[in-house]
Amino acid sequence: MINLGGVFPPLPTAFGTHDELLTDKLQENIRSLNQYALRGYLILGSNGELINLSEEEKNRVYVAAREAIPHDKLMLAGTGGQSTSETLKLTAIAASAGADAVLILNPSYYRGLMNRVALVSHYHEIADHSDIPVIIYNMPANSGLDMDAETIVEISSHENIIGLKDSGGNLTKMAQIIDETDDDFQVLAGSAGFLVPAMSIGAVGGILALANISPEHCMAMHTRYLAGDFKGAAHFQRKCVKLNNAVTRGWGVPALKAAMDHLGLYGGPCRKPIQNLDQEKAEVLFKLVRQLNEQTLI
- Is 165 considered catalytic here? yes
Q: Which residues contact 243 (CB under 8 A, 6 or more apart)?
A: 210, 213, 214, 259, 285, 288, 289, 291, 292
Pairing of β 10-11 and β 134-138: unpaired
The runs of H, that is alpha helices, within 130-265 are 140-143, 149-155, 171-180, 195-200, 215-226, 230-245, 252-262
CA 117 to chain centre: 26
In terms of C-beta density within 10 A (0-12 exposed, 13-18 middle, 19 or more buried), how is residue 50 classed?
Answer: buried
Q: Helices then strands (H, E): number in the chain?
A: 12, 9
Pairing of β 161-166 and β 186-189: parallel
| Cα gap 77→81, rounded to integer Å | 12
Radius of gyration over alpha carbons of the chain, in Å? 18
Out of 25, 58, 73, 165, the active site residue is 165
The set of catalytic residues is: 165
